Amino acid sequence: MLFSVALVSACLAILLLVATVQYVYSRFFSRQSIPDSIPWVSQSNSPLARARITLQSFLHTRDLVLEGYHKYSKKNTPFVLPNITTGPEVILPMSQMEWLLSQPDNVISQNEVNRAFLQADHTMLHPKVIPDHVHDDVIKKELTKLLGDYMGDVQEEIDFAFRREWGVDTKEWKEVGAYESMLNVVARVSNRVLVGFPLCRNEEYLENSKNFARLVVVQAVFISFIPESFKRFFAPLINIFDYKRYLACAKYSIPIIKQRLSTPSPDEKVKNDYIQWSISHSYRNNNPSERTVDIISKRLNVIQFAAIQSSAITLTNLILDLAACPLLPQYLSHMRAEILSELNASDGIWTKGALARMLSLDSCLRESMRLWGFVSRGLLKKVVAKEGVRLPSGEHLVCGTNVGFHAFPVHRDEHVYECSQEFRPLRFVSGQGDQKQGTALVTTSSTFMAFSHGRHACPGRFFASQQMKLILAYIALNYDIERIPVRPDNQWLVGSQGPPLDFKVRVRRRVDI
Ligand code: HEM
């Protein structure tokens, strides 16, 4: 008896050891079937060197991606960038961009990379939420079309939020958390559109919706270290607080969803908000499985996460750039003049057209996103065709390989952007009056990938752009920001970067509007 127990224990211990060795080998030492002819971003191609740079990718992806870009991409050669969480990536030279963009989704999929990056099956409440195209569709077919109708509501909410966050004192400077205040403003404004009045003013609801998945990048890193077969046991522990936040939101959203689902006509415009759009979408696509209280309430939280966190981080970066900009008063005054002149031309009414012509707002936001886009990857996809693919340069990539481009080194390339390290708010505009020209914030290209690029570029960017431009306009018209001597650097975690979340700036309400 004792002997059999010892034998079983010894077998289990050996199995565990083998599994651990296999796990460590595949994560740190393996080439993951990437051809030998594609160099890794390091001096040597040995397993030990691979393990060393894979470890380095945890905090130093920024250095590695810059090194690889200058050493290989600029010489028209693909290279391998390690990624300790989602596996090595084959980074292509720019000459292969058109080829990548032309690949169909059943050969190379962008969604699969996003899903792994967020560990979406475990962090996004329901495994269906990220892989299918419901969000994409609802955003493109409903939200974006209605943007013009929301201008008034959005502005009302911006005014309400800024008065609370940045105050109305025209004499004393007020110290505010850059990220905290932007998170609060964006949560209010996004929810005004996504769930409407009066839920968007419910403090408990706001608190939980703005904090849902706030640390998803960190959570996803932890989950990615757990071996696949154990994730469904341990991931819920890591996500426990987010699940509680979802339940706290669901307490309010579920009764509304139930009530909407019980209305007789599916197309009845009970209210224009996310709940109604998803119900209408499910009828249009004849898909009753998308018409359950469970899936709609979960999708709502996930879309709030996508909308709130990305715009809050982007605006925090912008505030830090503005505060550190030596010519800030001149730039703000330029923006004010443009805003007032365009408003004048549209009889004082904020229209979609007037906002579109306020190109200095686009430029300023675009410039900040160029420098600090929160994901380093610009266009990263996974080979999903069973037979793999052959690159235009001849190498064969097996199914499961990550392949694409990083935005960060392109955005900082001196040959692409003159004085590329400098924040130049008016970089993307030229001329004045009728001669004025510029690039809209939503326009993506091979040299501007902060919203990614191609047919899977962020579908929410039209909404984000309208909201962020209106917020910047409001700041320019109503506040001064005190200069800070140096812009604090962003912190990197694997392939993501974010501003210091506790950084404070001082602001004061302007007297002359
Ligand atoms: C400044 C704000 C934003 C930035 C910088 C941003 C950035 C991005 C990026 C880079 C991607 C591509 C990820 C990848 O596949 O590699 C993406 C996808 C996505 N974004 Fe945004 N986003 C922003 C705002 C929004 C908003 C406001 C919404 C919703 C209203 C949204 C919804 C989505 C969705 C649903 C996807 C996935 C699309 C798909 O799978 O095809 N985003 N976003």
pLDDT tens digits, 301-351? 999 999 999 999 999 999 999 999 999 999 999 999 999 999 999 998 999
| Helices 274-284, 293-323: inter-axial angle, 10-degree rounding | 130
CB 108 within 8 A of CB 385: yes
Residue 263 Cα distances to 117, 256, 266, 279, 291, angstroms: 39, 11, 7, 11, 13
Best of 458, 465, 467 for a ligand 1 pocket test (most atoms within 8 Å of beta carbon) = 458
H or E element, residue 303: helix 293-323
Q: What is the DSSP letter of 75?
A: G
Ligand 1 centroid distance, CA of 262 (Å): 32
Is 354 touching ligand 1 by the criterion CB < 6 Å? no
As a whole number of Å, the CA-based R_g of the chain is 24
Q: What is the DSSP string of 306-359?
A: HHHHHHHHHHHHHHHHHHT-TTHHHHHHHHHHHHHHHHHHTTT---HHHHHH-H
Contacts of 342 (CB under 8 A, 6+ apart): 354, 355, 357, 358
- Give the CA distances from residue 102 to residues 391, 448, 451, in Å, rounded to whole numbers and listed in that order: 12, 18, 18
Residue nearest to atom 11 of ligand 1 (CA): 458
63-119 pLDDT, tens digit each: 999 999 999 999 999 999 999 999 999 999 999 999 999 999 999 999 999 999 999
Q: Rounded to whole angstroms, how far apart are CA atoms 272 and 149?
A: 10
Of 486, 458, 399, residue with least CA distance to 33: 399
Residue-level pLDDT at 512:
67
Going by C-beta distance under 8 Å and a sequence separation of 6 or more, which residues neighbour residue 214? 309
Q: What is the pLDDT of residue 465?
A: 97
Query: What's the gap in Å between 17 CA and the centre of ligand 1?
Result: 41
> Is the minimum distance from the CB of 451 to ligand 1 under 6 angstroms?
yes
pLDDT at 296 over 90: yes
Give the distance (Å) from ligand 1 centre to CA of residue 495: 16
In angstroms, rounded to a whole number, what is the distance separating the alpha carbons of residues 484 and 504? 10
Query: Which tokens sit at 350?
Result: 């904020």
Cα separation of 189 and 194, whole Å?
9
What CA–CA distance (Å, rounded) separates 187 from 211? 9
Q: In angstroms, what is the span from residue 303 Cα to ligand 1's centroid?
A: 10
Residue-level pLDDT at 149: 86
What is the pLDDT, as a whole number, of residue 228?
87
- Which among 477, 405, 179 has a CA at the least distance from the CA of 312? 179
How deeply is 305 buried, as exposed, middle or buried, from its count of CB atoms within 10 A (0-12, 13-18, 19+)? buried
* pLDDT number for residue 428: 97
> DSSP letters along 137-199, please?
HHIIIIIGGGHHHHHHHHHHHHHHHHHHHT---SSS-EEEEHHHHHHHHHHHHHHHHHT-TTG
CA separation for the pair 127, 116 (Å, rounded):
12
pLDDT at 6: 80
Instruction: For residue 277, count other CB atoms closer than 10 A to its CB.
Output: 21
- Count the Cβ atoms, other than its own, within 10 Å of residue 182: 26
- The pLDDT, as a whole number, for residue 134 is 80
The pTM of the full predicted model, rounded to 2 decimals, is 0.94
C-alpha of residue 510 to centroid of ligand 1, in Å:
34
pLDDT tens track for 457-480: 999 999 999 999 999 999 999 999
Domain map (residue ranges) of the chain: 31-124+375-411, 125-374+412-509
310 lines ligand 1 (CB under 6 A): yes
Q: Is the CB of 467 under 6 A from ligand 1?
A: no
Distance of CA 159 to the CA centre of its chain: 25
DSSP state of 395: -
Task: Give the span between the Cα atoms of 380 and 37, in whole angstroms.
Answer: 21
Q: How far is the CA of 39 from the centre of ligand 1 (A)?
A: 31
- The β-bridge partners of 383 are 108
Largest CA distance in the chain: 92
**Which residues are known binding-site members for heme?**
458
Residue 86, ligand 1, Cβ within 6 A: no
Given a contact cutoff of 8 angstroms between Cβ atoms, the answer to whether 145 and 471 are in contact is no
CB contact set of 30 (below 8 Å; sequence gap of 6+): 47, 50
Query: How far apart are the C-alpha atoms of 238 and 353, rounded to whole Å?
Result: 46
**Contact 223 CB / ligand 1 (< 6 Å):** no
Per CATH, the number for 125-374+412-509 is 1.10.630.10
* Residue in 137, 191, 310 to alter for ligand 1 test, most ligand atoms within 8 A of Cβ: 310
Ligand 1 near 459 CB (within 6 A): yes
Q: Give the pLDDT confidence score for residue 43 in this predicted structure.
A: 66
CA distance 309 to 313: 6
* The pLDDT value given to residue 267: 54
Strand order in the sheet with 89-91: 79-81, 89-91, 402-406, 377-383, 108-109
Q: Residues 496-505: what's their mean pLDDT?
A: 97
| Cβ of 305 below 6 Å from ligand 1 | no
Per the CB < 8 A criterion, the answer to whether 471 and 160 are in contact is no
- Burial, 296: exposed, middle or buried (Cβ in 10 Å; 0-12, 13-18, 19+)? buried
Model confidence over 237-266: pLDDT tens digits?
999 999 999 999 999 999 999 999 987 655
The reply to whether omega before 329 is within 30° of 0 (cis) is: no
Contacts made by residues 21-30, CB under 8 angstroms, sequence distance 24+: 23/227, 27/54, 27/84, 28/54, 28/55
* Cα-to-centroid distance, 379 and ligand 1 (Å): 12
pLDDT at 264: 60
Examine the predicted complex and report whether its ipTM is higher than 0.85.
Answer: yes
The pLDDT tens digits of the residues spanning 209-224 come to 999 988 898 899 999 9
- Residue 307 CB less than 6 A away from ligand 1: yes
pLDDT tens digit sequence for 33-63:
899 999 999 767 788 888 999 999 999 999 9
